[in-house]
Structure 1
Amino acid sequence: MSRDFYRKLCLIGSRAGLTVFVFTPQGIRWSDDTISGYAFDSVARRWICQDYAMPDVVYDRCFFTNRKQYEAYREAIRILRSRPSPMFLGYGLKGKWEVQQMLEKDGRFSSHLPQTEEMRSVRSAADWLKARSEVLLKPQAGSQGCGVLLVRRAAGRRASQARKHGGSENTANAGAAFAVIGRDARNGRVARSFPDAASLMRWLRRFTGQRSYLLQQYLPLHGRSGEAYDVRSLVQKDGSGQWQMTGMAVRKGQQGSLTSNLHGGGTVEPAKAYLTAQFGTVQSDKILSELRSLSKQIPEALEQSHGRLAELGIDFGVDITGHIWLLEVNSKPGRSIFTYLQDKKARNNALANPIRYARYLLRHDRAKESKDGTKQNAKSVQSSPRRSNGNSLLADEA
């Protein structure tokens, strides 16, 4: 997926008069401010490695699989952001807790934010269970549904509900005091039961390890057939620098799955058709209208506290009453929902909008903010698809 995505960015950029190249933090030579990067040659139909000067715009799509990669990425970003050039297309959001706090501070989204708190220790999860009987555990830096757990006190009616909603992932039985379902760090299914709180806490301590977790209110986000689902909205800045909703789709989980993420075996359906089947035409139209409105308001609200953003994948939940909940916001979103839907227009816009927004920045952003927020004059730009100078858009990968 990544290689094809970067190839298409290179081709779209070339047609727009921009040089697009891909590099890793390890490819930067700070001694002379040059970069060893890769560009896709549309004539030879292959990737070509060559040296480039620092780009004018950085499009950060960097992902990492280990601590060493993460540290190299953080250091490269720190140095690049401390300089007057290059510009960043957008700055990556921090963890889920920071996003939650920014949106709570805004005030407009209170009714859409699930009750959430930081898990300072597994004891805080035990306290939550005493008060509410069930809790959702989410890793602060997790993605694709990995590491997400639902923990329930499986007694009486709660045990019956756990069996009903957990499906094949739930092995709760009449003798279990607690039931856990979800996904491990490798996206494998988890289904456990525990006779008492002490054994549950020991297991949770091993499962969470040193990772930072959130405790969150569990929401009944299931369709009529019992499948988990959410609504993914992709919003991006376009060639005029304005936020636009590129598209929206429902991601539906496998039967018995806690999450709806595609990496966990989920499927994609058109949002309007799916929501109409769940709520009827009148209510689904109201839900869709509110989803569109929130998709416009959330990016603007986050930019007020966070700084420039270029695109966001916003995940919404819709409970059985039709109430909308904000589940997650991702500043490095995927685009596969449009491939699944075979929505050619949305797929093309999802690819082209970062290039369009880069051109907008190059043409109209005459001043850039330095690290302390003051303004400095930006250098003039004349983009050329053949020159290996700084007049380039950069796609950055791990």
Structure 2
Amino acid sequence: MSQEQNAELVWLRQGNHIAHVVRPLAAKGKKWPAHARFAGGGTQLPITINLPRGQILYRCPISLKETGSFAEVGPVFAILAGEGKNGFIGARLNFRDVIATARETGAFMYVIPTNEVQFGNTWYGYVRLGQQRWLRIPCPRPQAVYNRIPTRALERRPSAVRARQIFNHMGIPMFNREYFNKARIYELLMQQGLSGFLPDTEPELNEEKLVSMLKKHSSVYLKPAGGSVGHGMIRIDSTKGGWSVSVLKHGTTQKYVCHTAAGVWQTVRRERVPGRYVIQQAVPMIEYRGHPCDFRVLLQKQNGAWQVVGRGVRVSGAGRITTHVPNGGSIANADAVLEERFGERASRVNDELVQAVVQAAQVIDLGYQGQLGEMSMDIGIDPQGHPWFFEANSKPMKFDEPDIRRKSLLGVIAQLRDLSGT
């Protein structure tokens, strides 16, 4: 929920020093205290009607209100990014959009790389000045943090581990805390009675279990438990002369023909990426214009309850084993696909899809102690209209559909406000 933007935060360069002040926008006849404090505590800033001399570096609209003998300014949020040579590592266009949405709603938001998180009331974060221009400035300690560290490797760095420890010590809430692990997610769903929503899944990969799954199913996927955008995924399909093995790496699919199960295992051992894998039945999915497709569903927590923000369809490219757009997939309208495939049953199929993903989100969130704020899910729908859970992502990629994108941005800010009590 947005607040009245009746003031602005202003940063000015004064020689080698950066001054940071609060300037009321409706000052006539109003006598403000000399200083304002942030709702989360810590830093106090001078309140000034007339800006002091200096070069204005940045300004942001914000809410200012009197509470007794002092004034309070806020809210202040931060996006947690990876540490890097150019200040920080992350999806800068996404950060730009999130910051702009926060600004619209009267909140100040900045990017904080993990190595800049520290004990104390003043942190050094980044704000966007223009096209590909980011400025490092002193910022007040945030009241809540949105975790968008872009890779698992960066999330394991000592600076990221220390940042989370500081958040815990200082009582700064954060979502989402970490990337999901596929094996853990499947285990949570099975433990809570949602196995009917899951394709047949084996949580560990070895030769014996792979051969057993190949005997049960004509096609299986081997998925890295900690993978993303399909890198390292392997699909094995039964053929008349043996098996076809398709391997996706760096956006390219390579195919191999194996005549024996032993040959399949040798190929898998050679082509797999490091780390744990799960084996999963390849469920037959509905097609759109001759290509298999699945549904990407975005969910966010609103007032403590999980809601579907939007859903889209991703269609696999020719010869591809996933529907990820970066790997050659394309986008289709979810309603149009359901209507074309199921006709009068489309609404009922959609209701079953929504019910299943909300239930799954509740289970996953419970397994993460209620610390999640958003997630996306990849869901397949079979020709009978039954939904199948493929995976969940704690840090959803940007949805290209404009209405979903807008709702998702507003939902992020709403979740930060909820976490911070603002």
Give the TM bin, normalised by the shorter chain.
Answer: 0.7 to 0.9
Structure 2 counterparts to residues 31-46 of structure 1, below 5 A: 35-41=123-129, 46=133
Q: Which amino acid aligns with 2:245?
A: V
Structure 2 counterparts to residues 1-398 of structure 1, below 5 A: 2-29=91-118, 35-41=123-129, 46-64=133-151, 67=153, 70-72=156-158, 74-107=160-193, 109-155=194-240, 176-184=241-249, 186-223=250-287, 225-238=289-302, 240-280=303-343, 282-307=344-369, 308-338=371-401, 343=402, 345-363=403-421
Q: Which amino acid aligns with 1:63?
A: P
**Secondary structure of the corresponding residue to residue 128 of structure 1:** helix
- Output one character per residue of 1:93-142: Cα deviation in whole Å (capped at 9) or x when no partner: 530111111111222x2221111112242443233224434321011011
Q: Where in structure 2 are there 5+ consecutive unaligned residues?
A: 1-89
Q: TM-score under structure 2 normalisation?
A: 0.72
| Structure 1 position 296, deviation (Å) | 2.5
Q: Work out the CA distance in 2 between the residues paired with 1:34 and 1:104.
A: 45
User: Higher relative contact order by CA 8 Å / sep ≥ 6: 1 or 2?
Assistant: 1
- The percentage of aligned residue pairs carrying the same residue is 25
Greater fraction of residues in helix = 1
Q: Work out the CA distance in 2 between the residues paired with 1:216 and 1:243.
A: 27
Q: Work out the CA distance in 2 between the residues paired with 1:82 and 1:235.
A: 25
Q: Which amino acid aligns with 2:278?
A: L
Q: Work out the CA distance in 2 between the residues paired with 1:301 and 1:361.
A: 20
Q: Work out the CA distance in 1 between the residues paired with 2:159 and 2:398.
A: 23
**Secondary structure of the corresponding residue to residue 337 of structure 1:** coil
Q: Work out the CA distance in 1 between the residues paired with 2:159 and 2:389.
A: 29
Q: Work out the CA distance in 1 between the residues paired with 2:211 and 2:229.
A: 26
Say whether the 8 Å CA contact 1:93–1:99 is kept in structure 2: no
The count of residues paired between Structure 1 and Structure 2 equals: 332
Q: TM-score under structure 1 normalisation?
A: 0.76
| Structure 1 position 81, deviation (Å) | 5.0
What is residue 58 of structure 2 aligned with on the other side? none
Structure 1: 4+ residue segments shifted above 4 A:
none
Q: Work out the CA distance in 2 between the residues paired with 1:83 and 1:124.
A: 44
| Structure 1 position 178, deviation (Å) | 1.9
**Secondary structure of the corresponding residue to residue 86 of structure 1:** coil
Say whether the 8 Å CA contact 2:247–2:271 is kept in structure 1: no
**Secondary structure of the corresponding residue to residue 250 of structure 1:** strand
Greater fraction of residues in strand = 2
Say whether the 8 Å CA contact 1:113–1:325 is kept in structure 2: yes
- Output one character per residue of 1:297-339: Cα deviation in whole Å (capped at 9) or x when no partner: 222222222122111101110012221101111110012331x
* Higher gyration radius (CA): 2
